[in-house]
Amino acid sequence: MKAILTAFVAIAAASSAHAQSLPGGFVYLRDIDPSIIQDIRYATSNNFVGRPLRGYGAGECVVKREVGMRLKAVQQELSGQNLSLKMFDCYRPARASLDMVAWSQNGRETAAERRYNPKISKTELFRLGYIASRSQHSTGAALDLTLVDLKADNSAKYDSSKAYADCTAPVEARAPEGSVDMGTGYDCTDVKGHTAAPSIAPGQRAWRKRLVAAMSRQGFVNYSKEWWHFSLPGAGGAAYDFPIQPRKR
């Protein structure tokens, strides 16, 4: 979920943190399971804002250790089915949520931004709860992710020069994500993005159910309005604002 209004934020600023220096309890997911695919979209221009968000100094998934260990268990189950998790967002610095709010109120709206919000004006995203100044992601216990079929051709890459169809369009027309067809693209603020949306195809619904089931077996809970968003109850706590730095290899 882009943000959750009920999260409690106690910002622990660490703007000058050294690379790979994380607060206690946080880990780089690559150190837990390097086989999990990562495409941290807010560290790139391939997202609804169209640029890297504040605090994303590296495209790395950072999570609470318990969350990472449970993701590893999910990945182990999926690997026997020639599937993999693909992470879109993990820990999110609190400043990034504020960056989203500022973006929604900047008075401009481009065609590229409309791809993610085909039926909703960006000025309405805050009122409708799609964007808020406080996010559960900032606790390290919330995740945005999808599934990848490792037997499929996932070579298509996002091209910023192309005019893709909006996030509700058929998979062939919308921006490629190198994953299974979940019925909409990631971060799609539309009713088709609701996990149990009746308007998607049976095959797309089956993929969503498969993802929810695999995550549920490790205690993760899906947010009903976003098929990609999961959280681990009890693993959160205070929210943080330390920047995501490159992981030492």
Determine phi and psi for 27, rounding to 5 degrees.
-140, 160
Kindly report which listed range (4-18, 90-104, 165-179, 190-204) carries the lowest average pLDDT score: 4-18
Residue 137 assigned to a binding site? yes
pLDDT of 16: 36
190: its two tokens: 């539309």
What's the rounded Cα separation, in Å, for the pair 232 and 3?
Answer: 15
What are the C-alpha distances in Å from 6 to residues 133, 168, 239, 246? 10, 28, 12, 30
Residue 88 pLDDT more than 50? yes
- Closest to 34 measured CA to CA, from 72, 6, 8, 80: 72
Residue 18 pLDDT more than 90? no
- What percent of the chain stands above pLDDT 90? 79
**Mean of pLDDT values over 155-170:** 95
Helix, strand and coil content of the chain, in percent to the nearest 5, comes to 25, 15, 60
Bridge-partner residues for 32, per DSSP?
A: none
Residue 18 assigned to a binding site? no
Which pLDDT band holds residue 3 (cuts at 50, 70, 90)? very low
Q: State the catalytic residue, choosing from 77, 113, 177, 226.
A: 226
In which element (H, E) is residue 223 found?
A: strand 221-223
User: 94-144 pLDDT, tens per residue?
Assistant: 999 999 999 999 999 998 899 999 999 998 887 887 877 788 999 999 999
Bridge-partner residues for 28, per DSSP?
A: 62
Residue 181 assigned to a binding site? no
In the chain the domains, ranked by start, together with CATH numbers, are: 26-231 (3.30.1380.10)
Amino acid (one-letter) located at 229: H
60 part of the active site: no
Quote the pTM value: 0.90
